[in-house]
């Protein structure tokens, strides 16, 4: 996974790779440069190590493998560079400018801290490697790196907790482009005067993100209220240049370190690249919306939930015209209470609709943050923005169900079995030893509360995971770290699913603090939900 990949590249061991340690130890293997840092000081020294005799044969084999793979690496880099074209040079210059800017910020902060009575903050010696300055660099670099920051924030199973926490602040906000530019794009994309399609377009954007800008409008003729999502000019060139650069770096790392090929770093980068390029193709987003709307219709759920209707005749690859839904984010508790008398029932509806989509829909919504999950004025749940979706097989979801249930009751044998079922590996895994290591690592993370059963009025124990989001992030990170030590690699959907569960956990604590999401009988997360009667929702 990505964490191991980064660790392998430079054998870099930092406190944020293991959140339980407090001493810092850097070790850069290419030059065997060692840096030791303790809380009260920071020292630097170098050591050059001689290769051990027993390492010579394996080193020789690795060298031979690199020689054989070198032509392929060069070919890949050259082809990627050709595909990138001149835009790559421009982005490189912008990258240097951003790096210098953040470096100046760091120097200014160091100067202020040195003159302060409080002394130097503990993360300052890490320089631009510290989570705060990495985030600031990403924000300066713009659209692609903001999206990468959001990916880090959304993947507690892949990245160190300090980075996951810091990148929660990496908001996808950007200065709006002028309305004249929006009008120009609309005329070009629609191929006809704007006035022939829209009766009115609000010049003030509803939202401006790094990739797209959204304006309210009204259709000509039907006079229906709509929103127009417009791709910002030049964003595709920026994404292609940036993502190709990240891909080349990953390929070089893979070539230099034999460990990288086992961490799937290049595969992860390819997956991110494909996912992000899908976001700038509004034809694909429109198809995702239509698939979800069909799922709601087939399951008889249109009175419970909806997604915005897409107006195909005024939508293109760069312009998406959708029905305007009126409501409030699922976290706006005061407004929700003015719409419905029972917020908990609305949350249960949202959970059942989303869980149901995992298998009964072509894809599931993989970004249900509060801005994309609304309670509408008519009491329905509104699912917005289908730029990020996931697809999961019945086999993987069945294993995921067992995994979630095993966390709740601390059944480490079942947890190990389900993770083995989900993960890809080219070797046999000792399930018993894996379960013991999971227990050793997770015992301190899981808090189990005993409850009495209410369905049968008989005494029972229903385990409930009582953790906040930071603890849950740490728990999932520990799971992945232990799994990686057994050679397991998880599909992208694993991280996507976990992130959505974290969002729903947050909403549960706000709207229904006594609700046990994994145990409540009103919530259907079973694999046979496709065949359940629609009234169960």
As annotated, the active-site residues are 367
The gap between the terminal CA atoms of the chain, to the nearest Å, is 37
The residue whose two tokens read 């939900």 is: 529
Longest CA–CA span in the chain (Å) reads 82
Round to whole Å and give the CA distance between 314 and 75.
42
Report which of 131, 153, 126, 139 is spatially closest to residue 99, judged by C-alpha positions: 139
Cα separations in angstroms, 244 against 58, 249, 441: 32, 9, 37
How do 389-390 and 364-365 pair as beta strands? antiparallel
Residue appearing with tokens 């966390």? 407
Question: How far apart (Å, rounded) are the C-alpha atoms in residues 383 and 465?
Answer: 27
Residue 48: CB atoms within 10 A of its CB come to: 7
Alpha carbons 364 and 292: distance in angstroms, whole number: 8
In the chain, how many H helices and how many E strands? 18, 16
Smallest CA-to-CA distance from 376 within 334, 322, 340, 341 is with 340
How many CB atoms are located within 10 Å of the residue 458 CB?
8
Percent helix, strand, coil in the chain (nearest 5)? 55, 10, 35
DSSP H/E element including 145: helix 143-153
In angstroms, rounded to a whole number, what is the distance separating the alpha carbons of residues 233 and 343? 41
Tell me how far apart the alpha carbons of residues 395 and 417 are, in angstroms, rounded to a whole number: 13
| Secondary structure (3-state) at 26 | strand
> Token pair of 350, please?
């949202």
Strand partners, 374: 329, 382
Cα–Cα distances (Å) from 358 to 337, 361, 396, 455, 472, in that order, read 29, 6, 11, 27, 22
Residue with tokens 């340690």: 21
Tokens matching residue 368: 């249900």
């Amino acid at each position: 996974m990505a964490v191991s990949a980064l660790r392998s590249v430079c054998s870099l061991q930092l406190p944020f790779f293991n959140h339980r340690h407090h001493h810092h130890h850097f070790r850069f293997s290419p030059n065997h440069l060692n840096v030791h840092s303790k809380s009260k000081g920071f020292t630097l020294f170098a050591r050059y190590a001689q290769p051990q005799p027993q390492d010579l044969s394996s080193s020789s084999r690795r060298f031979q493998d690199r020689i054989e793979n070198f032509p392929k690496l060069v070919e890949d880099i050259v082809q990627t560079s050709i595909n990138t074209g001149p835009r790559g040079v421009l982005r490189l210059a912008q990258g240097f400018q951003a790096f210098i800017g953040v470096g100046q910020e760091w120097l200014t902060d160091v100067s202020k801290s040195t003159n302060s009575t409080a002394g130097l903050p503990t993360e300052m010696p890490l320089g631009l490697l510290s989570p705060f300055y990495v985030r600031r660099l990403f924000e300066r670099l713009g659209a692609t790196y903001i999206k990468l920051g959001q990916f880090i924030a959304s993947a507690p199973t892949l990245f160190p907790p300090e980075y996951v926490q810091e990148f929660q602040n990496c908001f996808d906000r950007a200065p709006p482009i002028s309305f004249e530019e929006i009008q120009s794009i609309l005329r070009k994309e629609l191929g006809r005067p704007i006035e022939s399609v829209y009766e009115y377009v609000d010049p003030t954007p509803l939202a401006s993100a790094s990739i797209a800008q959204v304006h309210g409008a009204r259709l000509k003729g039907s006079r229906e209220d709509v929103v127009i999502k417009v791709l910002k000019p030049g964003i595709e060139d920026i994404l292609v240049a940036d993502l190709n650069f990240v891909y080349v770096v990953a390929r070089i790392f893979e070539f230099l370190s034999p460990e990288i090929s086992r961490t799937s770093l290049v595969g992860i980068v390819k997956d991110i690249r494909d996912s992000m390029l899908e976001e700038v193709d509004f034809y694909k987003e429109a198809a995702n919306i239509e698939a979800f709307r069909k799922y709601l219709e087939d399951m008889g759920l249109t009175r419970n939930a909806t997604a915005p209707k897409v107006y195909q005749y005024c939508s293109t690859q760069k312009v998406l015209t959708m029905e305007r839904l009126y409501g409030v984010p699922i976290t706006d508790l005061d407004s929700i209470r003015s719409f419905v008398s029972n917020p908990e029932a609305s949350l249960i509806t949202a959970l059942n609709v989303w869980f149901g989509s995992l298998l009964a829909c072509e894809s599931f919504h993989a970004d249900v943050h509060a801005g994309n999950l609304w309670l509408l004025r008519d009491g329905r749940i509104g699912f917005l923005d289908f730029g990020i979706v996931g697809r999961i097989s019945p086999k993987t979801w069945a294993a995921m169900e067992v995994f979630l249930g095993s966390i709740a009751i601390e059944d480490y044998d079942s947890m190990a079995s389900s993770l083995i079922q989900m993960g890809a590996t080219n070797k046999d895994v000792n399930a018993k030893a894996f379960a013991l290591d999971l227990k050793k690592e997770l015992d301190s993370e899981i808090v189990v509360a005993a409850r009495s059963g209410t369905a049968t009025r008989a005494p029972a124990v229903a385990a409930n995971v009582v953790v906040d989001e930071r603890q849950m992030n740490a728990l999932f990170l520990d799971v992945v770290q232990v799994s990686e030590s057994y050679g397991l690699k998880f599909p992208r959907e694993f991280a996507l699913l976990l992130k959505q569960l974290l969002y729903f956990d947050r909403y549960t604590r706000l709207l229904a603090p006594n609700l046990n999401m994994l145990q409540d009988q009103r919530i259907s997360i079973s694999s046979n939900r496709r065949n359940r009667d629609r009234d169960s929702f």
